[in-house]
Amino acid sequence: MNFLIELLFPRRCPVCDKPVDKMGRYICGKCRKKIQYVQSPFCLKCGKSLKDDSAEYCEDCRNANHIFDRGRALYEYDTVKEAVYRFKYEGRKEYADFFGKELADKLGREIKEWKADAIVPVPLHKDREKKRGYNQAALVARVLGRKLNIPVNEKIICRKKATAVQKKLKGKERQNNLKNAFKIGQNDVKLKTIIVVDDIYTTGTTMDEMARCLKNAGVREVYCISLAVGRGI
């Protein structure tokens, strides 16, 4: 059945957005070479790659008091930005299979070491999710959770405020935009360690606000996983 479905509806490559060059693949062979993964050295707090081999933290994390415990990211943003854009805004839900599998394959060992009780996708406001038709972070989280056998909880936290798009904002604007944006969606939170999944990590504002809300509800540790991240200093 899967063979027939793929024959009739070929999977699109997330990089070139054309049918993959070989059935069964998630990405074209030549397109994989265009993707750049975050390599060591990277920031020990947020996961941004570093130019300075002797540095432990990026400039952002040296100057910020992040609430989340640690973060990791898979790709350098510039090499996947078009793919992430199509995934979010042009209905390419199928990319989630590739992104989730990549996270599990490349970062799975480290993720398992965190011994999380659940994976939690960053929620969209209900109006934005209705307009888009899906939450891209949730799609990736489901694939990742299935691959690593970690439960996914999409109800523990919700977005109560319809915030502006973060990429259009800077510094304090980002923080003010997300202040009190999230609320706990269930009365009794018994989970102690959570992994938050999002598509892009920029300054950590979203992850911090998620972590603040979850920790105020009793969660002890909040780790973060992002598909893509910008470069640190």
Beta carbons within 10 angstroms of residue 32's beta carbon: 13
Instruction: Check whether 201 has a pLDDT greater than 80.
Output: yes
- Residue for token digits 């999710």? 129
Cα gap 117→61, rounded to integer Å = 26
7 band by pLDDT with thresholds 50, 70 and 90? low
Tell me how far apart the 2 most distant CA atoms of the chain are, in Å: 53
Q: Is the peptide bond before 41 cis (omega within 30 degrees of 0)?
A: yes
Q: pTM for the whole thing?
A: 0.89
Q: Which of 2-11, 41-50, 194-203, 207-216 has the lowest mean pLDDT?
A: 2-11
Cα gap 92→88, rounded to integer Å = 7
DSSP 3-state assignment of 138? helix
Cα gap 23→28, rounded to integer Å = 10
CA distances from 193 to 7, 114, 198, 214 (A): 41, 8, 17, 10
Q: What is the pLDDT of residue 1?
A: 41
214: closest CA among 144, 74, 118, 128? 118
CA distances from 177 to 27, 121, 163 (A): 36, 19, 6
Q: Which of 63-67, 158-162, 207-211 has the lowest mean pLDDT?
A: 158-162
Query: Taking the chain, what is the end-to-end CA distance rounded to the nearest angstrom?
Result: 49
Averaged pLDDT score across all residues of the chain:
89
What is the domain partition of the chain in residue ranges? Answer: 1-34, 38-229
For the domain made up of 38-229, give the CATH fold. Rossmann fold (3.40.50)
Average pLDDT over residues 69-83: 96
Angle between helices 95-113 and 77-89 (to 10 degrees): 120
Strand 193-201 relative to strand 221-229, pairing = parallel
Cα gap 102→3, rounded to integer Å = 22
